[in-house]
Chain A
Amino acid sequence: MEVITIDVVQKAINSFVNEDIYLHLETTNGAYASHFDESFFSASAYIRNARVKYEHGKIIGQGPFRVGLKIELGWVYAEGLTHFEIDDLGRLLLAGHGNDGKLGVALEISKTPFE
């Protein structure tokens, strides 16, 4: 993965506009967060292979970055994105890695279902 460059990622986001896409969206603080610190409120969520279509999408911020996708009847949103990759299947993989390097958020867009 590379550190996010807005122009490159914006171009990639644009390339999926009005296509049926498969989405992976995830936030996580790790399953052990409350084990290591019992006062920590552990919360996370993920959705894998949601099929949506967006009319418009944008990446914004000064880093870490935010991405919003305007879908037919609503929105997709992710905050804390730091890294990206366009992989060998042409999928846009966005990830947010915390100061310790661990993944905190992921937003991925693909024209074919994820495995």
Chain B
Amino acid sequence: MNKERHVLVVFPHPDDEAFGVSGTLAMHIANGTPITYACLTLGEMGRNLGNPPFATRESLPKIRKKELLKAAEAIGISDLRMLRFRDKTIEFEDDEKMTQLIESLITELNPSLVISFYPGHSVHPDHEATARAVVRAIQRMHKDDRPNLHCVAFSNNHEQEIGPADIMINIEPFAEQKKNAIRAHLSQTAWMLEEMEPKWKAGDKIAMEWLHTERFWTYRFT
């Protein structure tokens, strides 16, 4: 893994960082690289409220904010920006405003690497809108000044359309940080953890492979 100057991570929901990139982030942090995580919403519209429900539509954001702080701590992220947009509304925001928001983060932080979703291949409309804003902001920069952009893709057809990931990172030494990041988002991950924890404990091959491998697609700017 390259030593980066600064890594800027942009995702719309608390927990987006946990599943696909938390091991990589922990690795950058262990490498001495500063990380800024810009999280656009508090996942206010999440459907997981506990079974039986322990949260309401109105208390969920407060719970998820605490979970996000805990996950950032588990990964070691010291610069967490909560940007106060509302879940499910990112694609309806003014596009230019979103582009400028990303631009201002890049200008302030001068990252050598940006991590976000892959536009067209990240399923949730908030993911897609975030990805588009990140691409627009970087595309606008002079070719020589652009940070690298590593994207997470998981739509059903992504491999057919953009091929296999060009970056595979084995994050095994940071698996504990990753598991703790996933555990921090308990309101959203309880179902999943119930299934995964025993598999991790037993060393189930597929579950460990999923846990230990993080995949990125380098975005090719035109």
Residues in chain A within 8 A of chain B (CB atoms): 1, 24, 26, 28, 30-32, 35, 38, 46, 83, 85, 87, 91, 93, 95, 97, 100-104, 106, 108, 114-115
Contacts and interface: CB of A to CB of B under 8 A. Distances in A.
Interface string B8-30: 00000000000000000000000
B155 interface: yes
A38 B83 CA distance: 32
Which are the 10 A-B pairs with shortest beta-carbon distances?
A: A101-B51, A102-B47, A103-B47, A31-B124, A1-B53, A35-B123, A106-B57, A93-B56, A30-B47, A103-B49
Contacts, number: 66
Interface string B44-69: 01111111111011110100000000
B88 A31 contact: yes
A101 B52 contact: yes
B62 to A, nearest CB: 10
B53 A28 contact: no
Contact of B155 (A28, A35, A87, A95): A35
B147 interface: no
Given A28-B47, A31-B88, 10 more contacts: A31-B124, A32-B123, A83-B52, A87-B59, A93-B56, A95-B57, A101-B50, A102-B51, A108-B57, A115-B61
Contacts of A108: 57-58
A5 to B, nearest CB: 15
Contacts of A46: 45, 88
Interface residues of B, number: 22
Contacts of A87: 56, 58-59
B185 to A, nearest CB: 15
A115 B41 CA distance: 13
Contacts of A85: 56
A87 B45 CA distance: 18
Contacts of A31: 88, 123-126
Q: Could you say which of B45, B56, B88, B124 has the most chain A C-beta atoms within 10 Å of its C-beta?
A: B56
A100 to B, nearest CB: 7
Contacts of A100: 51
B79 to A, nearest CB: 25
8 contacts: A1-B49, A1-B56, A31-B124, A31-B125, A95-B53, A100-B51, A102-B51, A103-B57
A1 B60 CA distance: 12
B128 to A, nearest CB: 10
Contacts of A30: 47
Contact of A102 (B48, B58, B123): B48
A93 B52 contact: no
A85 B52 CA distance: 13
